[in-house]
Amino acid sequence: MSSIIINGKEIGQEIRTGVATRVQELKAKGITPGLAVILVGDNPASKTYVANKQKSCEQIGMFSELIKLPEDISEQALLEQIRELNNRKDIHGILVQLPLPKHIDEDKVIQTISPEKDVDGFSPISVGKMMLGQDTYLPCTPYGVMKLLEHSGIEVAGKHAVIVGRSHIVGKPMGQLLLQKDATVTYTHSKTPDLPSFTKQADILIAAVGRANFITSEHIKEGAVIIDVGINRDEENHLCGDVNFDDVQGIASHITPVPGGVGPMTITMLLENTVQAAEKELERQAE
């Protein structure tokens, strides 16, 4: 039997249509949702992602501003730029594209973004609120994974979700969001001995390791839902995920492809968060 392919492009498009309607409603009330994207340096992948974010904003009628800064910008100058954006009325969401050059302290940068405008959901305040289940901006990639599961009719409650990877932006928050939906969650990582003994227990396996084609049929059980968060290049420089798609195809019940799975959802949820930020600003104005 072949696995069901979860189509992130299609699901993302459906969600974007709903977000576009909310943009029109906000505009009718005199507020255009605005996103500022800061890009430091010339990382080619970052340039592509940032361009896609801008294009996506335009497509749904949002305002977006790209702030391009040189690779050798000082940390102070970057923090100053963020503070300026924190004070701008036309900007509802601020995002600093990661990774940053080595001489800049990423934590300091993220902490400088006002929590009201932290549409990436990376600041300690946003993360703390997420952990407590309070209203906040959820980090876009894990948030997108939750939407993929929901739209694919995959029940999370009572399932054993195994996360491979513990990054701040994917692995850790992913486990929390699944836990909030009553999954039993296991975190695994590079120091986990006998990884397959854990991953084989997964009803839902989240692969977020950053290693091309790392997860194979040896790691999964029959009927598991496989979510591939990886974006890597293989030996032939082709885009591929953390999961060896051909190897697990037919064993998994559902699987996300790379490209076209989780990736498009990351930008979709960024749009969702930015519109939410503008809606909250409107509410504050009405108070």
Q: Which residues are catalytic?
A: 53, 97, 120
User: Residue 195 binds which one of Mg ion, ligand LMY7XDAE, none, with CB within 5 to 8 A depending on kind?
Assistant: none
Pairing mode, strands 239-240 and 232-233: antiparallel
Q: Are 204 and 179 in contact (CB under 8 A)?
A: no
Rounded Cα distance between 273 and 257, Å, is 24
Instruction: Convert 271-287 to b/e letters by CB count within 10 Å (16 or more is b).
Output: bbbbbbbbbebbeeeee
- Neighbour order of strands in the sheet with 63-69: 63-69, 34-40, 93-96
- Name residues contacting ligand LMY7XDAE, limited to 10-29 (CB under 6 A): none
- 98 near ligand LMY7XDAE, rule: CB under 6 A: yes
**123 scored as a contact of ligand LMY7XDAE (CB under 6 A):** no
Which option in Mg ion, ligand LMY7XDAE, none does residue 263 bind, with CB closer than 5 to 8 A by kind?
Answer: ligand LMY7XDAE
The residue number whose beta carbon is nearest to ligand LMY7XDAE equals 263
231 annotated to a ligand binding site: yes
Q: Tell me: is residue 167 an annotated ligand-binding position.
A: yes
Instruction: Answer yes or no: is 126 a known binding residue.
Output: no
Q: Which is nearer to ligand LMY7XDAE, 70 or 259 (CB)?
A: 259
Closest by CA position to 92, among listed 113, 126, 68, 116:
116
For the bound state, the minimum distance from the C-beta of residue 256 to ligand LMY7XDAE, rounded and expressed in Å, comes to: 9
What is the helix (H) or strand (E) element at residue 39, kind and residue range? strand 34-40
Question: Which residues within the stretch 82-141 sit at the binding site for Mg ion (CB under 5 A)?
Answer: 106
Q: Does 211 appear as a known binding residue? A: no
Specify the residue, 175 or 264, whose C-beta has the smaller distance to ligand LMY7XDAE.
264
SS in 3 state form for 245-261? HHHHCCCCCEECCCCCC
As a 3-state breakdown, the chain gives helix, strand, coil percent values, each rounded to 5, of: 45, 15, 40
Ordered strands of the 204-207 beta sheet: 4-5, 254-255, 225-228, 204-207, 160-164, 184-188
Residue type, 124: P
70 binding partner (options Mg ion, ligand LMY7XDAE, none; Cβ < 5 to 8 Å by kind) = none
**Is residue 81 involved in binding ligand LMY7XDAE (CB under 6 A)?**
no
Q: How far apart are CA 187 and CA 107, in angstroms?
A: 23
At 86, the amino acid letter reads N
Among 264, 268, 273, 276, binds ligand LMY7XDAE (CB under 6 A): 264
CB of 121 to ligand LMY7XDAE, least distance (A): 9
Residues in the annotated binding site: 165-167, 231
Residues forming contacts to Mg ion in the complex (CB under 5 A) are 106
The residues of the shown chain that bind ligand LMY7XDAE, judged by CB under 6 A, are 48-49, 95-98, 120, 140-141, 231, 239, 258-260, 263-264, 266-267
